[in-house]
């Protein structure tokens, strides 16, 4: 209570879903469970400074992005504060300065909402823990993920590493719609340092915001089958993550990426978010895999960029393949090398 002013700084990474979250209910409750690899290099770093206020006159904060005032991001943060208000009543007692930057290029087509909301949630929980020092560590991380979820659904999977499940699933112990949990079983060694090379095919603004995208699942003709299928694919991935069966890993992961795009193509209104180069890359990956047997596969988010996933053991070979055959399909030859990582960190 006596805390007058101070600051914290946290980083949080992006994540890439293997089984996709697409469709939600009220209060950011997912329509189906999802699972993701937490990334390591694509991060948001956020410093939260706070000063106690004289009177409670609502939320007040300044927002700096890469050191400069950024008005355009403010409504999103304002909305986030309003959504978490009842869970964090102490927020109104302070004026905040949120100073944030991403380690990946701005408007690269990589969504920064997951890493950004997770980094902010960590800072807020750091403040709460300072006000309430007895707080248990498990509560700290669960509530951070719970708050991040209210900022952006997939952000709740960016608090912890290395594989995170969000959404209640009957075979995954402790799984809940309310926050992300670390995959509770032992993961096969083949997934240690698993690689994700992100090919930047189209760096433009998103054609469909994820808010609009999730809404398209309301009344979607295939919605129920899709949600059921996500449960089945999560069951399969659960087994695969434990036994290291890469052949089936590839089948589930690529299928999930194509399903995500298939439901967008069959929504009302409909969208095609892949670009010609996205398809070229997919075909090249399939050809390379069938010719060499190297277990490399792709996944996609709600956009044209391609995430190339492969074990660390084949990194050299795959990077050579990417440089020789795939880079030409990227905008300005740009790609980002990332890998599975540990989650948010205090700086
Ligand atoms: O967190 P949101 O609302 O931006 O939704 C993200 C949805 C996908 O990235 C397409 C899939 C996922 O599970 O991350």
CATH number of the domain encompassing residue 43:
3.30.230.10
Predicted complex ipTM exceeds 0.95: yes
Shared-domain flag, residues 307 and 173: no
Q: What is the pairing mode between strands 24-25 and 297-300?
A: unpaired
Shared-domain flag, residues 50 and 176: yes
Bridge partner list, 339: 195
Q: What is this structure's pTM?
A: 0.96
Q: Does residue 34 fall inside a structural domain? A: yes
First to last CA, the chain: 24
Shared-domain flag, residues 201 and 307: yes
pLDDT above 70 covers a percentage of the chain that reads: 98
Q: What is the pLDDT of residue 229?
A: 98
Shared-domain flag, residues 98 and 167: yes
Bridge partner list, 51: 5, 95
Say whether the peptide bond before residue 269 is cis (omega within 30 degrees of 0).
Answer: yes
Contact 301 CB / ligand 1 (< 6 Å): yes
Q: What is the pLDDT of residue 207?
A: 80
Contact 344 CB / ligand 1 (< 6 Å): no
Please tell me the distance from the alpha carbon of residue 167 to that of residue 230, in angstroms, as a whole number.
11
Query: What total of structural domains would you count in the chain?
Result: 2
Shared-domain flag, residues 220 and 247: yes
Query: Which among 129, 158, 187 is the end of a domain?
Result: 187
Query: Which among 157, 187, 217 is the end of a domain?
Result: 187
Which residues lie below 8 Å from residue 257, measured CB to CB, with a gap of 6+? 20, 298, 299, 300
Q: Ligand 1: which of 14, 15, 17 to mutate, judged by most atoms within 8 Å of the beta carbon? A: 17
Other residues' Cβ atoms within 10 Å of the Cβ of residue 266: 14
Ranking 64-78, 290-304, 313-327 by mean pLDDT, the lowest is 64-78
Q: What is the pLDDT of residue 58?
A: 81
Atom of ligand 1 nearest to the CA of 152: 1
* Residue whose CA lies nearest to ligand 1 atom number 6: 154
**pLDDT of residue 55 exceeding 90:** no
User: What is the 135 CA–ligand 1 centroid distance (Å)?
Assistant: 30
Q: What is the arithmetic mean of pLDDT over 83-96?
A: 95
Shared-domain flag, residues 317 and 206: yes
User: Could you give phi then psi for residue 15, rounded to 5 degrees?
Assistant: -145, 160
Q: Does residue 347 fall inside a structural domain? A: no
**pLDDT of residue 81 exceeding 60:** yes
Host domain of residue 110: 5-187
Other residues' Cβ atoms within 10 Å of the Cβ of residue 320: 10
Tell me the pLDDT tens digit for each residue of 149-160.
999 999 999 999
Shared-domain flag, residues 162 and 142: yes
- Given pLDDT bands bounded at 50, 70 and 90, which one contains residue 72? confident
């Amino acid at each position: 209570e006596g805390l007058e002013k101070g600051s914290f700084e946290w980083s949080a990474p992006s994540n890439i879903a293997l089984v996709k979250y697409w469709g939600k209910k009220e209060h950011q409750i997912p329509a189906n469970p999802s699972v993701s690899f937490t990334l390591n290099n694509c991060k948001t770093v956020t410093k939260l400074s706070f000063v106690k206020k004289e009177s409670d006159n609502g939320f007040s904060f300044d927002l700096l992005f890469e050191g400069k005032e950024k008005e355009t991001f403010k409504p999103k943060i304002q909305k986030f504060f309003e959504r978490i208000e009842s869970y964090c009543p102490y927020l109104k007692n302070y004026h905040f300065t949120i100073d944030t930057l991403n380690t990946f290029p701005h408007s690269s087509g990589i969504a920064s909402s997951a890493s950004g909301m997770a980094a902010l949630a960590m800072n807020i929980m750091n403040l709460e823990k300072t006000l309430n020092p007895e707080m248990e560590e498990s509560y700290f991380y669960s509530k951070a993920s719970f708050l991040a979820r209210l900022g952006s659904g997939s952000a709740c999977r960016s608090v912890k590493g290395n594989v995170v499940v969000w959404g209640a699933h009957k075979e995954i112990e402790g799984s809940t719609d309310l926050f992300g949990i670390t995959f509770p079983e032992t993961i096969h060694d083949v997934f240690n340092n698993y690689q994700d090379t992100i090919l930047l095919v189209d760096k433009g603004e998103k054609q469909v915001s994820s808010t609009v995208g999730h809404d398209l699942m309301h009344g979607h003709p295939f919605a129920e089958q899709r949600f059921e299928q996500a449960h089945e694919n999560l069951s399969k991935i659960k087994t695969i993550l434990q036994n290291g069966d890469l052949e089936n890993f590839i089948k589930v992961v690529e299928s999930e990426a194509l399903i995500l795009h298939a439901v967008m193509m069959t929504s009302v209104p409909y969208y095609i978010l892949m670009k010609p180069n996205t398809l070229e890359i997919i075909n090249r990956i399939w050809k390379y895999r069938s010719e060499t047997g190297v277990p490399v596969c792709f996944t996609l988010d709600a956009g044209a960029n391609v995430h190339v996933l492969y074990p660390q053991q084949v990194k050299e070979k795959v990077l050579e393949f990417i440089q020789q055959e795939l880079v030409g399909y990227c905008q300005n030859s740009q790609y980002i090398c990332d890998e599975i990582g540990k989650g948010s960190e205090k700086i």
